[in-house]
Chain A
Amino acid sequence: MISSKDTVKEAILKAKAKKVYIEGNFVKLFADTSDAAVKEYIEECKRKDIASRRKRLQITKQVQKQNKELEEAAVIKEALVIELQNALDQAKQLRDEAVEDLEVMQKRTQFELIGTIVKVALWVIIGVGVLTTLMYAWAITSGTDTQIIGSTWSNMFGILLTNAFSIVGTIMGVKYATDKD
């Protein structure tokens, strides 16, 4: 082993015998020497140091390049995630709008159907009213007994009027609801 009492040359020769080589900038501190053994050792140290540094430099550069690629990939990934999120939000919004449109359409169809039924009912009421009135008028003018037709007309007309107001109210409500949608 190298002792602190050894001279530099002795230390170098011991290291050389053990094939232990100095690394790093320390090796550059040795002045030129005429001693062949020492010179050979120093040159060998420098060669090995440069070779290992070149190797390390290449590896470091590769790692640096891969890191850069990973960083770029992360940026692209982040952009894609944002894009996907936006597309998802847009799809949700469209779905909500479609559901709302469907509900409106269903309501409108229902209201239209109700409207048609009510209109038909109103025409039926008017028809029955007109027919009963005509029959009553015919009975009066022809001098036949009007007691039955008279009370029938009176009852019928009361019922018809009540229903007619109810139907007109329904029509107005349906019209209002349809217009609002």
Chain B
Amino acid sequence: MMINSILLIDDEDLFHLVFEDACSILDITLSLEALDSSDEADKKFKEWFPDDPNDEKPECVFVDLNIIGSSFDGIEMIRKINFEYGNGCVIGIISSSDDKQEIEKAKKSGAQFWIIKSDDIEPRLEEFKEDYEGYKDKTNPFKIYR
């Protein structure tokens, strides 16, 4: 199953390219937008909330844990999307960290998954793609992709 649209929030431009190419090779989505700050993403979500007349809101959001140069981190971004901007999208963290405390915080803020960034991201994204349906209908429990 292909995801209609993905939003990636990550400060590392090179990772934008890696993610875009990996998603394209794995046929994960046709539409991918990448932002490099949570402030920028916050602005977009404000525009899309409460109505999204042009249906621009992404179906799935990947957020980096530490977004350098932003006012708040990925967990706060997820909390805002889930509790201030009406949820409505599959959302999780994509980070090189696997800190247990941060993972717990992400779960509490409403993250549905945690993907650990590494040189070999494709197998994790492929596994995520297989599980995606369950995240969309909220039947999948929180999962860490190592």
| Residue in B12, B25, B30, B119 whose beta carbon sits within 8 Å of that of A54 in the complex | B25
> Which residues of the other chain, B, contact A61 by a CB distance below 8 angstroms?
18, 119
**Contact residues of B between 1 and 48, Cβ < 8 Å to A:** 12, 14-15, 17-18, 21-22, 24-25, 27, 29-31
A63 close to chain B: CB less than 8 A:
yes
A85 close to chain B: CB less than 8 A:
no
**Contact residues of B between 98 and 146, Cβ < 8 Å to A:** 119
Contact of A28 with B30 in the complex, beta carbons under 8 Å: yes
A50 close to chain B: CB less than 8 A:
yes
Contact of B25 with A65 in the complex, beta carbons under 8 Å: no
> Which residues of the other chain, B, contact A50 by a CB distance below 8 angstroms?
24-25
In the complex formed, the residue of B with least CB distance to A55 is: B21
What is the interface of chain B mostly: helix, strand, loop, or mixed? Answer: helix
Q: How far is the CA of A5 from the CA of B31 in the complex (A)?
A: 28
> Which residues of the other chain, B, contact A25 by a CB distance below 8 angstroms?
24, 29-31
Contact of B18 with A60 in the complex, beta carbons under 8 Å: yes
Given A25-B30, A28-B27, A29-B30, A64 and B14 touching (CB < 8 A)? yes
Q: How far is the CA of A57 from the CA of B12 in the complex (A)?
A: 15
| Residue in A57, A64, A67 whose beta carbon sits within 8 Å of that of B25 in the complex | A57
Contact of B30 with A57 in the complex, beta carbons under 8 Å: no
Nearest CB of chain B from residue A61's CB, rounded to whole Å: 6
> Which residues of the other chain, B, contact A169 by a CB distance below 8 angstroms?
none
| Residue in A29, A49, A65 whose beta carbon sits within 8 Å of that of B119 in the complex | A65
> Which residues of the other chain, B, contact A64 by a CB distance below 8 angstroms?
12, 14-15, 18, 119
A24 close to chain B: CB less than 8 A:
yes
In the complex formed, the residue of B with least CB distance to A53 is: B21
A9 close to chain B: CB less than 8 A:
no
A92 close to chain B: CB less than 8 A:
no
A95 close to chain B: CB less than 8 A:
no
Contact flags A41-64 to B (C-beta < 8 A → 1, else 0): 000000001100110110011011
> Which residues of the other chain, A, contact B24 by a CB distance below 8 angstroms?
24-25, 49-50, 53
User: Taking beta carbons and an 8 Å cutoff, which residues of B are in contact with A?
Assistant: 12, 14-15, 17-18, 21-22, 24-25, 27, 29-31, 119
User: Taking beta carbons and an 8 Å cutoff, which residues of A are in contact with B?
Assistant: 24-25, 28-29, 49-50, 53-54, 56-57, 60-61, 63-65, 67
Q: List 20 A-B contacts (CB under 8 A).
A: A24-B24, A25-B29, A25-B31, A28-B27, A29-B30, A53-B21, A53-B25, A54-B25, A56-B21, A57-B17, A57-B22, A60-B14, A60-B17, A60-B18, A60-B21, A61-B18, A61-B119, A63-B14, A64-B15, A65-B119
